[in-house]
Amino acid sequence: KEKVEITKEQQALMKIITDAYNRHQIPQDVAKKLLQDQYSAEENFLLLTEMATSQVQVLVEFTKNIPGFLSLDREDQIALLKGSAVEAMFLRSAQVFSRKMPSGHTEVLEERIRKSGISEEFITPMFNFYKSIGELHMVQEEQALLTTVTILTPDRPYVKDQQAVERLQETMLDVLRKLCVLQHPQEPQYFARLLGRLTELRTLSHYHTEMLVSWRMNDHKFTPLLCEIWDV
């Protein structure tokens, strides 16, 4: 049985990324807000666009802490951010949804999201994803590394130097693989399951524009930053 060992460098890399991931949390916790009050579809849409706008800003700050990211070609950095922003947002939403909450809170949160204004057809795939992320019981290092692996996806549109991105992503995947083996020794397939979620995440993100324009209200307004990042 091969002995899996995280090197000193990998330990340092993981600490930098996890600290940055935890530092760059959403300022106002949306779950708390949703648990407090029931909002109209319009108010919920505004809340979503506000949360998503601040999450994109948080994502940009987070990527500056990924060792090697700032050494990539500048335009490739933008292409990676634009290409991963929606997936990072759904990954963060899944982590918010799967957080341990006092009993009954998750059910209230689920109900509020179901009734938020999102159209019926997207609710099942979205919650299937949230629950499949929750079942993994990821530790924070795994969450941070999974988001990093998602950002460093080489085949995003307009990425010129895919090899450079691939090298960075492989560095992160190697740490994540070892971490999974050490954190979940009884589950040799855990790492594979984790990466499988990224496929589910990409599929869910394909629905994203549809989910927004079909929100049960008229005249959907977006912030300039979201117009940049979302294809709306």
Ligand X SMILES: COc1ccc(-c2nc3ccccc3n2[C@H](C(=O)NC2CCCCC2)C2CCCCC2)c(OC)c1
Residues that bind ligand X (CB under 6 A): 26, 30-31, 34, 44, 47-48, 51-52, 55, 89-90, 92-93, 96-97, 113, 116, 118, 208, 211-212
Q: Which helix (H) or strand (E) holds 170?
A: helix 162-183
* Shorter beta-carbon distance to ligand X: residue 81 or 168: 81
Give the count of beta carbons closer than 10 Å to the beta carbon of residue 143.
20
Closest separation between CB of residue 93 and ligand X, Å? 4
* Shorter beta-carbon distance to ligand X: residue 68 or 117: 117
Give the count of beta carbons closer than 10 Å to the beta carbon of residue 31.
19
**Residue among 152, 132, 149 nearest 141 (CA):** 149
Closest separation between CB of residue 94 and ligand X, Å? 7
Residue partners of 208: CB distance under 8 A and separation at least 6? 86, 90, 230
Query: What does the alpha-carbon distance between residue 102 and residue 119 come to, in Å, rounded to a whole number?
Result: 28
* Shorter beta-carbon distance to ligand X: residue 68 or 222: 222
* Shorter beta-carbon distance to ligand X: residue 30 or 180: 30
Closest separation between CB of residue 52 and ligand X, Å? 5
Q: Is the dihedral of CA 204, 39, 51, 20 positive or negative?
A: negative
Closest separation between CB of residue 122 and ligand X, Å? 7
* Shorter beta-carbon distance to ligand X: residue 13 or 229: 229
Give the count of beta carbons closer than 10 Å to the beta carbon of residue 183.
15
* Shorter beta-carbon distance to ligand X: residue 69 or 130: 130
Closest separation between CB of residue 10 and ligand X, Å? 28
Q: Which helix (H) or strand (E) holds 122?
A: helix 120-134
**Residue among 49, 18, 203, 29 nearest 116 (CA):** 49
Closest separation between CB of residue 228 and ligand X, Å? 16
